[in-house]
Structure 1
Amino acid sequence: MATGAAGAVEMRGALMRLRRETGLDVAFGGLVEPGRGQVRISELTGTTTAALDALAVSSGNGLGGKAAALVRPCAVTDYSSSRRISHEYDAAVAAEGLRSVLAVPVVVRRRVRGVLYGALRSARPLGDRTLSAAVQAARDVEQSLVVRDEACGLLAAARAPGPDGAARAPDADGATRERLREAHGALRALAPRVADPVLRAELLAVCETLATAPGPLSAAAPRVRLTPRELDVLACVAAGTTNAAAGHRLGLRAETVKAYLRSAMRKLGAHTRLEAVVAARRAGLLP
């Protein structure tokens, strides 16, 4: 899946939240096109024309290009008359009737990955509250992109062939199986945090493949059905995390983690955390 297309899901959600929280007339944004260095506006909410749709913004040009070049938020009270920015995109901005505009760069690992904009159709100061909300929206997109990058890296590692070009044999040795278990736990923890449903489904499919890979105990094991969250918690427990650490990793309270774990243990007929992990591995639910 192309990162730009997938990342648009996170951008769209952040822009909708920004408008809802601030009352901005318009919010729009896009990610940097790979290999081109331009931000392509792909997500818009509140617009009444197509003037801004698919607009390519170069670093340094206009308000968004300035925010990208300086790697910091920028704002103007009256876009068309501002002397603080260049005016390559005045026609598109005027066609949409925008006056006060802010732009916040989306930065991941010190690299600008996109720009998020908010705007009013009247020339009045946007205020600290609006700017703070826009910065938070950009941070949400950044976090989503970090999660996506991690997930794609884990997917690539899980699919990587062995030295001879053949698929890896997860049961070849203890070290390989331990790496497989670590990858499985990381993928299960990441999947619930991925907003894009296609990538999330892909992550979970790889988790299932890793969990059901041939192993010394899985062939004769009885089949047990656990919920996705019960599996998430067990994957964390298998990695040695505490309930509190598992909760932090999964975005759950420690008490909720404990409840999922108790439910999983009951289904597996286990009396301890270790017994639950062993039983889940025998059932082919964990690698």
Structure 2
Amino acid sequence: MTADAGRAADAAEMRGALARLRRATGLPVAFGGLVEPGRPQIRISELSGTATAALRSLAVVSGNGLGGKVVALSRPCAVTEYAAARHITHEYDAAVAREGLRSVLAVPVVVRRRVRGVLYGALRSAQPLGERTLTMAVAAARDVEQALVVRDEVAELLAATRSAAEGGGPGTGTGSGSGDWERVREAHGALRALAPRIADPALRAELLTVCGRLAGTDTGGADVGLSPREVDVLAWVAVGATNAGVAERLGVRPETVKAYLRSAMRKLGARTRGEAVVAARQAGALP
């Protein structure tokens, strides 16, 4: 995924969170933006329920205004009367006034201890924004955070494994050494585990394509009748994970892992976990 495509996907996550925030709280206006790469500021890019374009593309510098304070402190803040609030600076009063906003809250989107964006919710009347509203706003921000975490993990894993997929697997005479290839196998399992959590179809397709290239096939185990979840289980078994460990990584119960493993062994004609892994590699289902 290109940098531009990644930013577009991040913006889409923000739009979805703003819509959910308005539905959950009844707030008439929500808006937000992401931190600009290499700059200590956010750019307001997503608007929901606004009546004007006053806030669009507004650059909010860290420390300035309500959103800038949230970026600097990395915690939620709210004001009941924006124009009169004493604990924020007022560089953006004109834009806020043109939109007719008075009570405003702002919540940071924090990924790996770094603020990546800010979600705002607002009223056109001066009244306190209660604890329930703030809790809902924080929940919306957490949704964005989780999506960004998954996307970051996928990007890192794709970058780490792309060269190995192009260089060839163990025994080819090219590419990674045996130790590096074991790490690639771990990455393969992690990528497959992340796939069901990815809402972006383009990113999910790219991830699964790389998984297929790592395994040396595009079939993903279909030629031997393995289901995607059976391949997921075998991918973690291949790097030494216990049934409990596989269950934790895939978000299922250990009994479910055992069932998938038994089914995979039957399809592969294997009597042990090790034999199943070897057979799956021979079939091109695993790297």
- The amino acid of 1:122's aligned partner reads S
- Separation (CA, whole Å) in 2 of partners of 1:248 and 1:16: 32
Distance in 2, Cα, partners of 1:256 & 1:22: 38
Once the 2 structures are TM-superposed, how far is the Cα of residue 77 of structure 1 from its aligned partner? 0.9
Change (3 A) 1:233 1:50: farther
**How far apart are the structure 2 equivalents of 1:259 and 1:27?**
46
Change (3 A) 1:49 1:83: same
1:216 equivalent in structure 2:
none
Task: Tell me by how many angstroms 1:153 deviates.
Answer: 1.4
Change over 3 Å in CA distance of 1:251–1:83 after alignment to 2: same
Percentage identity across paired residues of the two chains = 72
Match of 2:204 in 1: 200
- Out of 101, 105, 121, which is 1:102 matched to? 105
- Conserved? CA contact 2:186–2:236, under 8 Å: no
Distance across 2 between alignment mates of 1:117 and 1:24: 10
Q: 1:30 aligns with which of 30, 33, 51?
A: 33
Indicate how the Cα distance of structure 1 residues 256 and 46 shifts in structure 2: closer, same or farther if over 3 A, else same.
farther
Partners in 2 of 1:121 and 1:264 — Cα distance? 59
Match of 1:52 in 2: 55
> TM-score normalized by structure 1?
0.84
Query: Whole-Å Cα distance in 2 between the matches of residues 107 and 131 of structure 1?
Result: 16
After superposition, the Cα gap between the structure-2 partners of 1:79 and 1:210, relative to the gap in structure 1 and judged at 3 Å, is same
Residues 135-193 of structure 1: CA deviation (Å, up to 9, x unaligned): 2322332232222222211111112379xxxx423224533432221121121122222
2:34 counterpart SS class: strand
Give the match's secondary structure for 1:223: helix
TM-score by length of 2: 0.84
Aligned residues: 277
- Aligned partner of residue 195 in structure 1, secondary structure: coil
Q: Which residue of 2 aligns with 1:276?
A: 276
Deviates more, 1:266-275 or 1:183-192: 266-275
Counterpart in 2 of 1:239? 239
Taking a change above 3 Å as real, the CA distance of residues 183 and 58 of structure 1, as seen in their structure-2 partners, is same
Find out whether 1:211 has 2:215 as its counterpart.
yes
> How far apart are the structure 2 equivalents of 1:10 and 1:258?
35
Name 2:160's counterpart in structure 1: 157
CA apart distance, 1:255: 4.3
Between 1:99-108 and 1:6-15, the stretch displaced more is: 6-15
Deviation (angstroms), 1:67: 0.7
Once residues 265 and 97 of structure 1 are traced to their aligned partners in structure 2, the CA distance between those partners, rounded to angstroms, is 65
Instruction: Tell me how far apart the structure 2 counterparts of residues 212 and 153 of structure 1 sit (CA, whole Å).
Output: 20
Distance 1:227 1:18, change over 3 A: farther
Structure 1 residues 211, 96: CA separation in 2 closer, same or farther (over 3 Å shift)? same
What is the DSSP-based 3-state SS (H/G/I as helix, E as strand, rest coil) of the residue aligned with 2:110? Answer: strand
Q: Of 78, 82, 102, which residue of structure 2 is paired with 1:75?
A: 78
Q: Distance in 1 between matches of 2:31 and 2:222?
A: 52
Aligned-partner Cα distance in 1 for 2:249–2:236: 8
Corresponding residue for residue 168 of structure 1: 167
Distance 2:244 2:116 in 1: 33
Given that residues 10 and 196 in structure 1 are in contact (C-alpha distance below 8 angstroms), is that contact kept between their aligned partners in structure 2? Answer: no
Name 1:250's counterpart in structure 2. 250
Shift of the 49–261 alpha-carbon distance from structure 1 to 2, 3 Å rule, reads farther
Alpha carbons 2:182, 2:239 under 8 Å: kept: no
Q: Is the 8 A contact 1:79 1:98 kept in 2?
A: yes
The one-letter amino acid paired with 1:110 is: R
Q: Which of 117, 124, 129 in structure 2 is aligned with 1:126? A: 129
CA distance in 2, matches of 1:42, 1:227: 41
Does structure 2 retain, via aligned residues, the 8 Å contact 1:100–1:120? yes
- Unmatched 5+ stretches in structure 1: 214-220
Q: Measure the CA separation in 1 of the matches of 2:164 and 2:267.
A: 35
Structure 2 residue runs of 5 or longer lacking an equivalent are none
Retained in 2: the 8 A contact 1:104–1:135? yes
Distance 1:89 1:208, change over 3 A: same
- The alignment's C-alpha RMSD in Å is 2.7
Is this contact kept in 2: 1:230–1:260, CA < 8 A?
A: yes
2:185 is aligned with 1:181:
yes
